[in-house]
């Protein structure tokens, strides 16, 4: 029969909605309340030093809203006023300098969109399929348009001496998170950002100023950046020795594994996004990215990697930024083993889990960029599985 939503006058077509002053800074409508960051309680000892996950299953396009972009803190998200912000450059420089927030706003500015992926993204999947949802398996990632000053600009302002081969960057919070970055990368594309997606950085993303290290692991993107020391060698801080190092099968460990390899994942359908509409047209979509450059191609398999079809990129891949891909199919209720496989502009092709394990074993913890498999059943539900 006729749809009462059409034939009957609905309340929203008769009365008023909210006035323009109801929410001076808007929030998502209440019907989208499930699109939120989620924490996995057993993962860490305390929420103060922990991580949560971006709801990438429920997002579209490529820009991650700050309010649901995953957080990683080592000593909690601090509150610092812009007026109290200081950035120091010292060490092997001609002019050790201190900048205020206002000083930073007077340097020439750039806008760049970059993904930030935690090195531990998918880390729980090394030993087998564990978490049933793309938010948990690949959700330690976000992608924002940053506004700021290049690190090169500030280093040139201070005058880097020839002996300066590394910079040590440090945050202002109690964790004193600090990482060593080779001078070549520091002078290449690192960005001192004070805006993301057009607005001030959110507290949890390092307000008022964070570092962007495009394509490299998220831990290096120091939040609440307060200090840049130009040095002869690396500090070998806790976060670059005891953590963020990758242990191989024979017990030796790789260090300075900064680059995030090419990776992709289907965000829908997926365990949190089952097919509910029955047979017929189905949009398969997902995200791809590479720390080495731009995504040039994404292939999708419906049969666990036996055969592949080239997906459609929503837009040409941009260096070190998320790329959205689509494969539009006519689904007739058949079971599928869905996979995506990214290729970047260096020719790197995303490997399978078995390929990675053959080289690294299962104890790496970090840098798992393996192909992910979703088993989509005939009822449309999906599960995180591994295949031969």
Partner 1 sequence: EPFGLGRAALPEEIAAWNLDVSPDGTGLPPGSGSVADGEELFSDRCAVCHGEFAEGVDNWPKLAGGMDTLNRKDPLKTVGSYWPYLSTVWDYAHRSMPFGNAQTLSADETYAIVAYIIYSNDLVDDDFVLSNENFLEVEMPNADGFIVDDRETVEYPEFSKPACMENCKESVEITAHATVLDVTPNDPNDDAPAAEAPATDAPAEEAAAPAAEAATEVAAAAPAEVDPALVAAGETVFKKCKACHKIGEGAKHATGPSLNGVVGRKAGGADGFKYSPAMIAAGEGGMVWDHETIGAYLKDPKGFVPKNKMSFAGLKKDDDVAAVLAYIEATGQ
- CA-based max dimension of the chain: 80
Measured from the CB atom, the residue of 145 and 182 that comes closer to partner 1 is 182
Nearest to 62 by CA among 339, 345, 288: 288
Binding to partner 1 in span 349-378, by CB under 8 A: 349-351, 355, 359, 362-363, 365-366, 375
Stretch that binds partner 1, among 13-21, 67-75, 185-193, 321-329 (CB under 8 A): 67-75
Residue 115 — φ and ψ, nearest 5°? -85, 150
Asked if 197 contacts 206 with a C-beta cutoff of 8 angstroms, the reply is no
Other beta carbons within 10 angstroms of residue 238's beta carbon come to: 14
Stretch that binds partner 1, among 4-12, 190-198, 207-215, 234-242 (CB under 8 A): 234-242
- Give the Å distances, CA to CA, from 386 to 56, 129, 366, 383: 21, 6, 19, 10
The Cα–Cα gap between 39 and 51 comes to 7
Q: Which of 48, 84, 279, 334 binds partner 1 (CB under 8 A)?
A: 48
Decide if residue 117 touches partner 1 (CB under 8 A): no
Minimum distance between the CB of residue 86 and partner 1, rounded to whole angstroms? Answer: 9
Decide if residue 216 touches partner 1 (CB under 8 A): no
Residue 372 — φ and ψ, nearest 5°? -100, 140
Binding to partner 1 in span 151-210, by CB under 8 A: 156-157, 159, 168, 170, 174-178
Q: Which of 111, 161, 256, 334 binds partner 1 (CB under 8 A)?
A: 256
Q: Which of 59, 69, 261, 267 binds partner 1 (CB under 8 A)?
A: 261
Decide if residue 120 touches partner 1 (CB under 8 A): yes
Minimum distance between the CB of residue 317 and partner 1, rounded to whole angstroms? Answer: 16
Q: What is the DSSP letter of 6?
A: H
- Give the Å distances, CA to CA, from 256 to 73, 260, 285, 368: 21, 11, 33, 15
Decide if residue 77 touches partner 1 (CB under 8 A): no
Q: Is 294 helix (H, G, I), strand (E, B) or coil?
A: coil
Asked if 123 contacts 365 with a C-beta cutoff of 8 angstroms, the reply is yes
Minimum distance between the CB of residue 26 and partner 1, rounded to whole angstroms? Answer: 21
> For the chain, what is the radius of gyration of the CA atoms?
23
Stretch that binds partner 1, among 42-50, 200-208, 209-217, 313-321 (CB under 8 A): 42-50
Q: Which of 61, 111, 188, 254 binds partner 1 (CB under 8 A)?
A: 254
Measured from the CB atom, the residue of 197 and 325 that comes closer to partner 1 is 325
């Amino acid at each position: 029969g006729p749809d009462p939503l059409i034939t009957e006058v609905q309340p929203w077509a008769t009365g008023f909605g909210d006035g323009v002053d109801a929410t001076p800074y808007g929030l998502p409508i209440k019907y989208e309340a499930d699109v939120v960051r989620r924490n996995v309680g057993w993962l860490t000892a305390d929420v103060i030093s922990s991580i949560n996950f971006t709801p990438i299953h429920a997002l579209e396009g490529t820009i991650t809203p700050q309010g649901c972009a995953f957080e990683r803190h080592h000593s909690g998200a601090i509150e610092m006023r812009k007026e109290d912000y200081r950035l120091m450059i010292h060490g092997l420089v001609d002019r050790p300098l201190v900048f205020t927030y206002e000083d930073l706003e007077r340097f020439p500015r750039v806008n760049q969109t970059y993904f930030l992926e935690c090195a531990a993204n998918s880390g729980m999947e090394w030993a087998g399929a564990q978490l049933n949802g793309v938010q948990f398996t690949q959700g330690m990632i976000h992608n924002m348009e940053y506004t700021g000053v290049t690190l090169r600009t500030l280093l040139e302002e201070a005058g880097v001496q020839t002996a300066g081969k590394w910079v040590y960057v440090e945050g202002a919070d109690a964790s004193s998170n600090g990482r060593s970055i080779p001078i070549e990368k520091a002078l290449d594309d690192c960005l001192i950002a004070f805006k993301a997606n057009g607005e001030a950085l959110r507290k949890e993303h390092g307000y008022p100023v964070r570092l962007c290290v495009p394509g490299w692991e998220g831990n290096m993107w120091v939040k609440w950046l307060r200090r840049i020391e130009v040095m002869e060698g690396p500090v070998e801080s806790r976060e670059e020795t005891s953590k963020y190092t990758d242990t191989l099968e024979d017990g030796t460990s790789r260090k300075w594994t900064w680059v995030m390899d090419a990776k992709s994942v289907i965000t829908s359908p997926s365990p949190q996004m089952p097919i509910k509409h029955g047979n017929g047209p189905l949009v398969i979509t997902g995200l791809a990215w590479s720390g080495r450059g731009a995504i040039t191609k994404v292939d999708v398999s419906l049969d666990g990697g036996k055969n592949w079809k080239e997906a459609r990129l929503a837009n040409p891949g941009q260096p070190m930024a998320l790329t959205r891909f689509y494969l539009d199919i006519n689904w007739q209720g058949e079971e599928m083993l869905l996979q995506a496989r990214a290729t970047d502009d260096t020719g790197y092709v995303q490997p399978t889990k078995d390929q990675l394990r053959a080289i690294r074993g299962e104890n790496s913890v970090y840098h798992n960029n393996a192909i992910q498999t979703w088993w989509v059943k005939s009822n449309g539900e999906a599960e995180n599985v591994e295949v031969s």
